[in-house]
Amino acid sequence: MTETDASLYRGEVGPLPRGKYVATLMIKAGDSEKVLEQREFAAAGSIPADSAELRIKPANLDLLRRLSTATHGAFEAPAAMLARHTGQTVSVRQSADPWLIPLVIALFLGEVFVRRRYLGD
């Protein structure tokens, strides 16, 4: 909480799920706690990121069906159909970033070892 004026405080919380909550202002001194004020408040919850787009115009289901047919896909296909084995090779790309720093450290230590062991001080 932040004091904005004499006897006036302001508190902020992150986004809360939809529901009713109770905010409690209390003083803590040592092992004792004293409740000064309690207030109920309601949170509307967060809205989905695409809600404005969906409010403007609903999805064009006919267009989606035609696109899935044209690409030999399926509209609302069952999970068994999506997960079946087709025999095609699957390529997966993975970033090398997590390995770069450990690799540099290992190469540096290897260089130090070779210089001290074989090339002298």
pLDDT of residue 40: 93
Instruction: List, run by run, the mean pLDDT of 10-residue segments along the chain (121 residues).
Output: 82 86 88 90 82 78 79 71 74 90 96 89 61
User: Which residues 6+ apart lie within 8 Å of 33 measured at CB?
Assistant: 26, 27
3-state secondary structure of 46: coil
Burial 45-76 (b: 16+ CB within 10 A, else e): eeeeeeeeeeeeeeeeeeeeeeeeeeeeeeee
Q: Report the phi/psi class of residue 46: left, alpha or beta, with left for phi > 0 and alpha for psi in -120 to 50.
A: beta
pLDDT of residue 111: 94
pLDDT of residue 71: 65
pLDDT of residue 70: 64
Structure token pair of residue 25: 């202002």
pLDDT of residue 87: 80
